[in-house]
Chains A and B, each alone.
Chain A
């Protein structure tokens, strides 16, 4: 396997007295697809947010690529997020008053400069070439999630984070989204870390870790035979 893109040691995160993440050592290899499972409140979302530069750990060390996330300022973290990370949310979180293509362009704008042609082709890649001008409210859940994916990959991130991206979708849409992500990963070679409740979704990854109460309790390698 290639070099590790993420290395943590003794990573903790506590909110006041509540300890969401107990000291955690984790390595993620470059290009790996890691599924994170656990109950609600097991700390899996916290871990994801910390690795995506959205949240700061309380202690320990965290390296993503060449960046030491604990050393970055707030604007440094913003730069890290736009250059390194693509995030897919369960709730999609699209800007309601912007069309699909504008939502993708928004990510381009914060990253560098908007490029409409490129944003269109990204939407075409996720199969939304026919709904470029629609606002999020006019799209189905699966379609919104695909806009979200197009937005997440537009800046060629090294790291794609999914926070239960299929949590709100029916089975058929879930399969389509997972298939799409697999295809995109084959082309773009990014690392995927996906938090999920769903055992079936988790098996799409190379490896699954199980968190409970902020502690890594189990780790298993998945057979690559799913499809």
Chain B
């Protein structure tokens, strides 16, 4: 039931995307339906397989990158649309001409389908990603697509689709679905990036200016500069990055010149033509307006995710010949995001699960994914706390790394500038002791 509720945004996005495609390629509905559904099935299957066989967060990273590419494409298209609407003749539209061919429409539908399917697949992890689930999802998607395409014919005939609007609308639906899944969320990482960029930029700026002291920067200016370091700047910056293309598309629609009517002598006719042109322009604005609403919904989902635990999949790590496990701070996984990252270490038939976490205070900690008392069901992360999966007890982030209570068992480590170093043998041994102890408790009872 809860899962069905969580699937709502995903299927909403699928229906929306199919609707947009159907409207965008009016002559090719059957083709759009087939290509889109095929893409959906393909994306779903590929992601199920990728998640199973690729380590860690890599598949999610790929999907995120693909959606991110969609945002960049949307930027390009919207800028081009504004440029063209100013009346300048751009020989550009090979892409547009291509999109109008049979093949172009098919590829567009296919790509959309693949992405929506892939995003949808990320909702199912582990044992959920099975063949029956796959078949059920594809069946639901195909039925939904057919229903939407059948209904689309009767849906506001004045609502016309055009290349830039279509791009924005499709990206909006992709973001709607991706932001409903915590690990595919693009908005929060974007805010972080913007914040870091602003921070670095201001930093560099001041360093390169070689300001010896605050000679001509009074406190007011510093307050102003301080804004760039704040958390707000990331949010607003990301908001701008998301919404500007939508505004650009709306602007482009508005900038398109009205038809020349001066040559029509009769006033009534002249006005009729103008009115028709204005009406069409207004109806074109509906698409970016709806897209903006969907974007806002996506941002909302990202800012206020439905209560969900951060539950990463353990990534396999190996020790160096000297027996040391090294986990880099930067790299495939960004350790400094204040989220716990799980790893799985195997050696000589024994294994240990552990996680690395940077607390909000900036303190590093490495702990077993098990506590000294409970069954080793492991931990997830909720807001401001780590959560024991077995007993659902919340452990404040700042106390993670301290022994005792229901806290995860800490492991000795050294944090260097490049990353975290852990001794493999100590880790394995500590896991062994802990899990044995908890198992013994279970056997002997109270």
Question: A and B touching (C-beta < 8 Å)?
Answer: yes
Closest chain-B Cβ to A67's Cβ sits at a distance in Å of 16
Interface string of A124-160 (1 = CB under 8 A from B): 0000000000000000000000000000001110000
Is residue B266 within 8 Å, beta carbon to beta carbon, of the partner chain?
A: yes
Given A111-B272, A112-B272, A156-B267 contact (CB < 8 Å): yes
Interface pair B266/A113, CB less than 8 Å apart:
no
Closest chain-B Cβ to A84's Cβ sits at a distance in Å of 11
Is residue A55 within 8 Å, beta carbon to beta carbon, of the partner chain?
A: no
From A113, A115, A122, A156, give the contact of B278 (CB < 8 A): A113
Residues on B with C-beta less than 8 A from A154 are: 267-268
Closest chain-A Cβ to B182's Cβ sits at a distance in Å of 49
Residues on A with C-beta less than 8 A from B130 are: none
Interface pair A155/B268, CB less than 8 Å apart:
yes
Residues on A with C-beta less than 8 A from B270 are: 115
Is residue B147 within 8 Å, beta carbon to beta carbon, of the partner chain?
A: no
Name the residue in A113, A115, A155 with the highest tally of chain B Cβ atoms < 10 Å from its Cβ.
Answer: A113
Q: How far is the CA of A126 from the CA of B126 in the complex (A)?
A: 82
Instruction: Specify the chain B residue showing the minimal Cβ separation from A118.
Output: B267
A interface bracket (residues with beta carbon within 8 Å of B): 10 to 19
B interface bracket (residues with beta carbon within 8 Å of A): 10 to 19
Instruction: Specify the chain A residue showing the minimal Cβ separation from B276.
Output: A112
Instruction: Specify the chain B residue showing the minimal Cβ separation from A188.
Output: B266
Is residue A108 within 8 Å, beta carbon to beta carbon, of the partner chain?
A: yes
Is residue B269 within 8 Å, beta carbon to beta carbon, of the partner chain?
A: yes
Instruction: Specify the chain A residue showing the minimal Cβ separation from B267.
Output: A118
Interface pair B274/A113, CB less than 8 Å apart:
yes
Interface pair B266/A112, CB less than 8 Å apart:
no
Closest chain-B Cβ to A24's Cβ sits at a distance in Å of 30
Interface pair A156/B266, CB less than 8 Å apart:
yes
Is residue B271 within 8 Å, beta carbon to beta carbon, of the partner chain?
A: yes
Residues on A with C-beta less than 8 A from B266 are: 156
Is residue B275 within 8 Å, beta carbon to beta carbon, of the partner chain?
A: yes
Interface pair B268/A111, CB less than 8 Å apart:
yes
Residues on A with C-beta less than 8 A from B272 are: 111-112
Closest chain-A Cβ to B269's Cβ sits at a distance in Å of 7
A contact face: mostly helix, strand, loop, or mixed: loop
Closest chain-A Cβ to B363's Cβ sits at a distance in Å of 66
- What is the total of A-B residue contacts with beta carbons within 8 Å? 30
Residues on A with C-beta less than 8 A from B278 are: 113
Interface residues of A in 100-116 (CB under 8 A from B): 108, 111-113, 115
Residues on B with C-beta less than 8 A from A108 are: 271
Instruction: Specify the chain A residue showing the minimal Cβ separation from B274.
Output: A113
Q: How far is the CA of A113 from the CA of B269 in the complex (A)?
A: 11
Q: How far is the CA of A144 from the CA of B350 in the complex (A)?
A: 101
Interface string of B241-271 (1 = CB under 8 A from A): 0000000000000000000000000111111
Residues on A with C-beta less than 8 A from B276 are: 112
Q: How far is the CA of A112 from the CA of B271 in the complex (A)?
A: 6
Instruction: Specify the chain A residue showing the minimal Cβ separation from B271.
Output: A112
Interface pair A156/B274, CB less than 8 Å apart:
no
Residues on A with C-beta less than 8 A from B267 are: 115, 118, 122, 154-156
Instruction: Specify the chain B residue showing the minimal Cβ separation from A156.
Output: B268
Q: How far is the CA of A81 from the CA of B276 in the complex (A)?
A: 18
Closest chain-B Cβ to A113's Cβ sits at a distance in Å of 5
Q: How far is the CA of A118 from the CA of B267 in the complex (A)?
A: 7
Instruction: Specify the chain A residue showing the minimal Cβ separation from B272.
Output: A112
Residues on B with C-beta less than 8 A from A155 are: 267-268, 271
Interface residues of B in 262-298 (CB under 8 A from A): 266-272, 274-276, 278
Q: How far is the CA of A49 from the CA of B274 in the complex (A)?
A: 30
Q: How far is the CA of A115 from the CA of B267 in the complex (A)?
A: 9
Closest chain-B Cβ to A157's Cβ sits at a distance in Å of 8
Residues on B with C-beta less than 8 A from A122 are: 267
Q: How far is the CA of A91 from the CA of B407 in the complex (A)?
A: 89
Instruction: Specify the chain B residue showing the minimal Cβ separation from A153.
Output: B268
Instruction: Specify the chain B residue showing the minimal Cβ separation from A114.
Output: B271
Instruction: Specify the chain B residue showing the minimal Cβ separation from A155.
Output: B268
Interface pair B275/A113, CB less than 8 Å apart:
yes
Q: How far is the CA of A33 from the CA of B278 in the complex (A)?
A: 36
Interface pair A156/B275, CB less than 8 Å apart:
no
Interface residues of B in 83-129 (CB under 8 A from A): none
Closest chain-A Cβ to B330's Cβ sits at a distance in Å of 59
Q: How far is the CA of A70 from the CA of B161 in the complex (A)?
A: 35
Q: How far is the CA of A59 from the CA of B274 in the complex (A)?
A: 38
Instruction: Specify the chain A residue showing the minimal Cβ separation from B277.
Output: A113
Closest chain-A Cβ to B57's Cβ sits at a distance in Å of 56
Closest chain-A Cβ to B371's Cβ sits at a distance in Å of 71
Name the residue in B266, B267, B272 with the highest tally of chain A Cβ atoms < 10 Å from its Cβ.
Answer: B267
Closest chain-A Cβ to B282's Cβ sits at a distance in Å of 12
Can you report 6 A-B residue pairs in the complex whose CB atoms are below 8 A from each other?
A108-B271, A113-B271, A115-B271, A154-B267, A156-B266, A156-B268
Q: Which residues on B are within 8 Å of A, measured CB to CB? A: 266-272, 274-276, 278
For the complex of A and B, the 4 pairs showing the least CB-CB separation, nearest first, are A112-B275, A112-B271, A156-B268, A155-B268
- Kindly list 6 other residue pairs between chains A and B, CB separation below 8 angstroms, not including A112-B271, A156-B268: A112-B268, A112-B272, A113-B278, A154-B268, A155-B268, A155-B271
